[in-house]
Amino acid sequence: MSIELPETAGVTEQSPEELEALLDELVIGRDDHLNAPGYVIKPDTVVESLRRLRDDAGFDHLSCVTAQEYDDRYESIYHLKKFDDPTQEVSIVVPADKENPVSQSANAVFRTADWHEREAYDLVGIEYDEHPNLKRILLPDTWQGHPLGQSYDQDQPQVVPLREHKNPLLEDQRAASESETMYLNIGPHHPATHGVLHVKAVLDGEQVVDLEPDIGYLHRCEEQMCQNSTYRYQIMPYPDRWDYISAGLLNEWAYARVAEDMADIEVPEYAQVIRTMGAELCRMAAHFLALGTFALDIYGDFTAIFMYSIRDRERVQNILEDLTGQRLMFNYFRLGGVVWDLPEPREEFIENARDYLEELPTALEEYHDMMTANEILQLRTVDTGVLPPEVAKSYGATGPVARGSGIDYDLRRDDPYGYYDKLDWDVVVEDGCDNYSRLLVRMREVEQSAKIVEQCLDLLEDWPEDERTIQANVPRTIKPKDDTEIYRAVEGAKGELGIYIRADGTEKPARFKIRSPCFSNLQTLPEMSNGEYVPDAIASLGSLDIVLGEVDR
Amino acid sequence: MAGLLQGEVLLPEQLADLMGLEGPLGVAVGALLGAFIVGNIMLAMTGVAGPWAKRKITAAFTDRFAVNRIGPFGLFIIVADSVRLLGKELIIPSNADRPSYDLAPIVLPASALLGFAVIPMGDLGPLNIHLADPEAGLALVFAFASIASIALVMGGYASNNKYSLMGGLRAVAQNIAYEIPLIVTAMSVVIFAGSLQMSTIVAEQGATLVSLGGIDIPAWYAFVNPFAFVLFLVANMAEIGRNPFDIPEAPTEIVAGYQTEYSSVYFVLFYLGEFLHIFLGGAIMATIFLGGPAGPVLPGFVWFVIKIWAFFLFTQWARSALPRVRIDQLIEIGWKGMLVLSFANLVLTAIIVGVIA
Amino acid sequence: MIGLLKGMATTMKHALDGKKFTVEYPETAPEVSPRFRGVHKFSQERCIWCRQCENVCPNDTIQIVMDDQRNGEQYNLHIGQCIYCRLCEEVCPVDAILLTQNFEFTADTKDEFIYNKEQLKNVPWYKGIDPLNSRNPDRGAWIGEGDGSVDYQ
């Protein structure tokens, strides 16, 4: 009755001392985080250190890059993990000079560093040497100052001279007559960009020569908002708004996990079961929408599949509404548990959920009839948008995108939290690496989630009446010790959703960094679509299942 | 099948007779009046189809309610929508190629309307709704229908928009790839009928194919040669640009293709033109494969309308369930698959007809 | 080819069974969960002006004005800015503020969404449901057991 743990025998585990020996002369100090040993290195040895860790110690997953400014220095932190065993973590801390913050780019070792370092440059102001394309990513190019830096003046007007801000289309943008290619703006208002995404595409006829996603249209300073809120209550409503496509509880869990680990809060087992059930319901709802919109991208109009998947998602949302009181922005988790027990009458709720799960296989059969069994859909998706596993790893792709490329990586199993390790379910992996595999992964994950929810319902029904504790005893204010640092991740709907928090002894975090799975996944889009046809590029974008709220935060 | 034989009095002459006019004047007035009537019937049908029927049908496929607030069955939405669409601002992009930009929305519905001139639509009371019956009727109707691609290229090119341009180019590539199989398949019907004249083709289908228990199955070419019927159906879907071959519009890829930049009246004209083309496609199908206006009890014209609406329903059904193919796959299916199959069909038909006859 | 036909058969089945999933909204008011969080209702009679709701509110939606004797004068809440997290209801020790299930509100300008205490008091219950009962289980952590029904007028 419990999930098989992954084969970790082949993955050697290094002690912190061994790693220090491996890095040897590069290490100039230690700065351990709660989750991982941290090694301080010089800003010009980033590539060398990361390469050694990747090639000799097997840390092949650059999960996140956090940048922050202290009173006396800037700092970039590279959070490394192993795809084979994400519980092995290590942090590389790179201090940079306060006056002239320059640090070497990790782009040569991990391709994902490209965007992460651009974000660090944009928001904090660290400059990365040898970076191929160091320009702003979330804020407009004309922005002045770096908003998360200490010296940033929030009241300074963003004056942009007209010559910098004039309409770029006023000039004749037509290329020279010899040019074979056409430049095309896809978005930010385009039917298939799933939000306000702008894709700069260079086309040769119908084929994509080059493609560059341009993000930041939905940047809402979520990190800063969390930095201005208290740990105990005020941060929790915000994660709902990152991946706002019904994946709220999964996001809340990311914050709950990191804050609970930081403040050392024990969550009652009963609450963990409720959390697991709620989170999986959310995953089902999110995947239904992913299926529907992917079908929309392939089929064209508002077709039947889209409506059918919305119908099934709606029913999940009704269950979630009964449980949490809201349909999208749940705010249901609290540090140390959840806010409400199952709704009364409990039998009715359980019955309701079971009814739904019973009808689910019929609904899924319908999707298979209409999508996976459809020859034209196969023609369209098989072997298009190919993302080889090595490339996916280098870009830090996670979630269904990675699992569709044959990477057996799921934090629910590999870095267990909640009640997952005591339940019976499988991690879905497909080896096709194409759009079709990613579609299949999502469809099969819905089945697995249903399986988890079913087991949770059984557990909840039979739970002893006097042990139904939904919240641990948590103090009304939480003040972690000064300079406590932690990075923790959970398996969100789109992949690894991680949060880094640095405490400064107050009841608000000093640095709150979100590692968004969509942000890393979207980076793979050029890899998948260069050389493909426009419709396939659109389909690949759909298969990534991005939510711009989470990409831009 | 009386009333459909060659030499039957056509609508313009009937009208001229009714008004007591004779000679060239009578023919001219009768023809204009007849064209006015037929054109308006077709436009009225698209008016019902576009804002109302299409929504109702799509809603049925997707388990939804649709237009049911205004008037009986929501039918008055047609009025509301016309007011809404016509009341909108007509936006013309800067640097649009003016004459061609303005002409495209007129050419498209006009080409489709012209096609209806040679279609025999059966009788309604004393009237025989059939405007003209030239000897090369079938060739003429295909010629009219293909003018549509010119309109799409004009609109796509003149809009000064890259999405429009791509839509226009796609439309041409698609129409060329599918026009040939379409016409070659239609030729197999011509071999059966021995004539390009529409009334002859319809009349030939009046014969009895087999008699099952007292019920006569007519020799509609859809029954005589179902293979050609299916081929023609697929090629026709591509020709009129409906799912799974709606790539010239492809909303999720190139926004709305050639009509991206069109608004207000021009948009309405494009929209009408598209629906007219669906109905024209249905009319051709009905005429050369489904016995034209033939059918029991009801007047011929009613049967004819039912048949073209059945085709419209089919396009909407396909839309609900079939994904769009990619442009290169579409061209491949057209040139490598459909063309070969349609020629095979033509040769086989010729052999069969040659051997039997 | 079989797959295409299967897909078409599926949609046709849905078209023919005539079932609708959507509802005709204003005529068929949706059933909402008793836990649903809609527009707030405020009771000045119960409020002890402790300002906890103002403090806990994540995005400064609640504004309380008091005179120098700490008597409450104004209680303003911007229901258009509110994110409906229900933290105010959760911290309130006397059930003076409560989120009804009423989700239907419109206005011509954003300013009209700034409700004062009178407007907040007059917010109607959705379908006459007082949601307090269904929300009791978690309130023990804050105020102990409630005592009987609450009169908001």
Q: Which domains does chain C possess? A: 33-143 (3.30.70.3270)
Residues A349 and C126: their CA atoms lie apart, in Å, by 21
Statement: residue C140 has pLDDT above 60: no
pLDDT (mean) for A95-108: 87
DSSP classification of residue A132: T
Q: Does C132 touch chain A (CB under 8 A)?
A: no
Q: Taking the C-alpha atoms of B150, B155, B161 and B163 in order, what is their torsion angle to the nearest 10 degrees?
A: -60
In B134-258 the beta strands, taken as DSSP E runs, fall at 208-212, 215-218
Cross-chain CB nearest to B246 (options A297, A300, A533)? A300
In what order do the strands lie in the sheet containing A207-214?
A182-186, A198-204, A207-214
In this complex, do C22 and B64 lie within 8 Å of one another by their Cβ atoms? yes
The percentage of residues in chain C with a pLDDT greater than 70, rounded to a whole number, is 85
A81: β partners: A61, A89
Handedness of CA B181, B183, B185, B187 (dihedral sign): negative
SS3 state at A213: strand
**Higher-pLDDT residue of A24, A388:** A388
How many C-beta atoms lie closer than 10 Å to residue A329's C-beta?
Answer: 18
Of B62, B255, B323, the CB nearest to A298: B323
Cβ separation of A191 and B254 shorter than 8 Å?
no
CB-nearest partner of A237 from C4, C7, C58: C58
CB-based contact, C124 to chain A, within 8 Å? no
Chain B residue at shortest CA distance from C10: B321
Residue C139 touches partner A, C-beta closer than 8 Å: no
pLDDT of residue A276: 92
For residue B299, is pLDDT > 50?
yes
Residue A9 has pLDDT above 60, yes or no: no
Cut 0.90: pTM above it:
no
Per-residue confidence at C144, pLDDT binned at 50, 70, 90?
Answer: very low
Q: What integer is the mean pLDDT of C37-45?
A: 83
Confidence check: pLDDT of A349 > 70? yes
Give contacts of A470 with chain C, Cβ < 8 Å: 138
- What number is the average pLDDT over the span A29-54? 84
pLDDT for residue A449 is more than 80:
yes
Beta bridge partners of C115: C77
pLDDT classification of A170: cutoffs 50, 70, 90? low
Is C141 a residue whose pLDDT tops 50? no
Cα dist from C105 to A324, A380, C79, C108, C115, whole Å: 22, 45, 9, 11, 12
List CB contacts (< 8 A) between C21 and chain A: 307, 311, 314
Pairing, β A198-204 against β A182-186: antiparallel
CB A262 within 8 A of CB A235: no
Give the pLDDT of residue A175: 56
Task: Report, in this order, helix, strand and coil percent for chain A, each rounded to 5.
Answer: 40, 15, 45
d(CA A539, nearest CA chain B) in Å: 9
Of B162, B166, B243, nearest to A300 by CB-CB distance is: B243
pLDDT digits (tens, 9 = 90+) for B303-328: 888 888 999 999 888 888 888 888 88
Omega of the bond leading into C58 within 30 degrees of 0 (cis) = no
**What letter does residue C33 receive in the DSSP assignment?**
-
Cβ pair A380:B323 closer than 8 A: yes
d(CA A96, CA A411): 32
User: How far is B192 from chain C, CA to nearest CA, in Å?
Assistant: 29
B94-98, B152-156, B279-283 — which is least confidently predicted? B94-98
- The angle at the Cα of B246, spanning B240 to B252, to the nearest 5 degrees, equals 155
Task: For residues C70-83, give the mean pLDDT.
Answer: 85
Contact call for C10 and A304, based on CB within 8 A:
yes
Contact A218, A242 (CB under 8 A): no
Give the pLDDT confidence of A351-376 residue by residue, as tens digits: 989 999 998 888 888 888 888 888 88
Kindly list the partner chains of chain A, i.e. chains with 3 or more CB atom pairs below 8 Å: B, C
Give residue C145's pLDDT.
Answer: 40
- For chains A and C, what is the number of CB pairs under 8 angstroms? 89
Q: Which range (A118-122, B276-280, C72-76) has the least confidence?
A: C72-76
Q: Which residues of C touch B (CB under 8 A)?
A: 4, 7-8, 10-12, 14-15, 18-24
Per the CB < 8 Å rule, is B63 touching C19? Answer: yes
Residues 136-175 on A with a CB inside 8 Å of C are: none
Give the residue, B30 or A196, on which the prediction is more confident: A196
Residue A97 has phi, psi (to 5 degrees) of -65, 140
| Residue type present at position A383 | D
Which two tokens mark A13? 């585990």
| Contact by Cβ (8 Å): A40, A20 | no
Which of B63, B162, B252, B320 best tests the A interface by mutation, with the highest count of A CBs <10 A? B252
* A415-435 mean pLDDT: 87
Residue B5: pLDDT over 70 = no
Nearest-Cα distance to chain C for B319, in Å, is 9
Kindly identify which residue of chain B lies nearest to residue C25, measuring between CA atoms: B65
**Interface contact flag, C3 A324, Cβ < 8 Å:** no
Q: How far apart are CA B301 and CA B41, in angstroms?
A: 11
ipTM over 0.85: no
Residue A441's pLDDT is what?
A: 92
Residue C133 has pLDDT above 60, yes or no: yes
Query: Does the structure show a pLDDT above 70 at B2?
Result: no
Other residues' Cβ atoms within 10 Å of the Cβ of residue C108: 6
Distance CA A82, CA A62 (A): 8
Average pLDDT, chain A: 85
A149 pLDDT higher than 70: yes
Q: What is the pLDDT of residues B98-134, one digit of tens each?
A: 888 888 898 988 888 888 888 888 887 777 778 788 8
For chain A, the residues whose C-beta falls within 8 A of a C-beta of chain B are 182, 184, 190-192, 206, 295-304, 306-308, 311, 370, 374, 376-377, 379-380, 533-536, 538
* Separation CA A366–CA A354 (nearest Å): 19
Token readout for A226 is 């969390």
Binary contact (B65, C14; C-beta < 8 A): no
Residues of chain C with Cβ-Cβ distance to B53 below 8 Å are none
Please name each of the domains of chain A with its CATH number: 16-129 (3.30.460.80), 222-552 (1.10.645.10)
pLDDT of residue A57: 83
A297 to B252: CB separation less than 8 angstroms, yes or no: yes
Report CB contact under 8 Å: A325, C90: no
- Residue B196 gets which letter from DSSP? S
CB within 8 Å: C11 and B320: yes
A5-9, A173-177, B164-168, C26-30 — which is least confidently predicted? Answer: A5-9
Chain C residue nearest residue B322, CA to CA? C4
